[in-house]
A and B are shown apart, each in its own frame.
Chain A
């Protein structure tokens, strides 16, 4: 099959700006439930929330470069000692929700991105900005544009996510390993 490219004539003239500026671009990839099936295809997981004490919070903060608190309510456990942890990384320009699957021996089984919300300026780091996205679903797109799927262009760096995964592993070491 041959390539078929239909340029947007307005883009060529430089007129193809979207009429309404997009405040935030959001990509919702998979739900927490789907992430469980992807990372643990044949395992039964049960929710195992952990109360994250101030002391634990502080120790995690010291061991990773992330300052905002870790939420302990999105943790699941399998009978064999595997864990699934969902966390977020919040950068200056983006918020990424991701799931980490941890094997009984503490090694990472896989990492799957659940959501990616991109914004411009510094508002992402503010708690009230993030709040509006908390608990959102695909059916509830507040100020989000999800129709735009194929964005070409400069490569985004995923280095923030690396910091996030480090924090999840610190949390596993401090709070889950012994359980």
Chain B
């Protein structure tokens, strides 16, 4: 088993496979790096930062991957009746969880629903935006890395971006989740073949005494925006981008049978604390 790890997307990204093909693995990491360069809120020069700065003023030409993520974000937003919304960046900035690059205007900020596609890769917005793709881009990056590996002839493997992971090919893998009560223990929750799992939990936020990064987009003000919960919510789906996004729907609704999950053929797992 070859297992490599690089620090990307603010976390540790692992790629493991049985085939010793260094170039294919390099390209898998490069795909993740490209998503980081396009969609990092942390980077003032990323395409996402350009969108937040300019989309309400001029039409912006964006990369096909950014367009894809925005469309999926809109799809999940629609199916979850607005519970999943990337337009919560300002809440995370106020809480000190994201850096303050741009002056956030006092006027009403828009949400993901305000992104209008003029053509497949040209967007604009009637309102200023403060999108954060932190709740979806990691999953998307896992999918793109998997696609890259498969295109390079890697038959089976696993890509894990800080806990959001996808297993591909013939070999099933055991999946472990942290036990929230006794964090030194891991729970073997089952075995996964050809699928993705993503998890939302506040385990590290609580440990490091940080504010919750799970934001209720309907909260009228700051004080009610951060959602606190114990335990963890995981979503199994065919693709990691959906697993990643849907964990927020699950964590916010705590409804294991939310109709949105069924729409995306996803399953929910709750580990109680």
A residues at B contact (CB < 8 Å): 1-8, 10-11, 14, 16-18, 21-23, 25, 27, 29-30, 37-38, 41, 93, 98, 111-113, 116, 120, 148-159, 161-162
Contact = CB atoms under 8 A, between A and B. Distances in A.
B234 interface: yes
Given A3-B195, A38-B4, A154-B178, 5 more contacts: A29-B3, A151-B176, A152-B160, A153-B163, A155-B161
A162 B272 CA distance: 33
B137 to A, nearest CB: 12
B192 A11 contact: no
B154 interface: no
Interface stretch (B61-69, B81-89, B196-204): B196-204
B151 interface: no
A158 B204 contact: no
Do most interface residues of chain B lie in helix, strand or loop, or is the interface mixed? strand
A153 B201 contact: yes
B12 A158 contact: yes
Contact of B203 (A2, A98, A116, A154): A154
A27 B15 CA distance: 12
B238 A3 contact: yes
B194 interface: yes
Contacts of A18: 185-188
Interface residues of B, number: 65
B202 A152 contact: no
B193 interface: yes
B204 A37 contact: no
B107 interface: no
Interface in B7-21: 7, 10-12, 14, 16
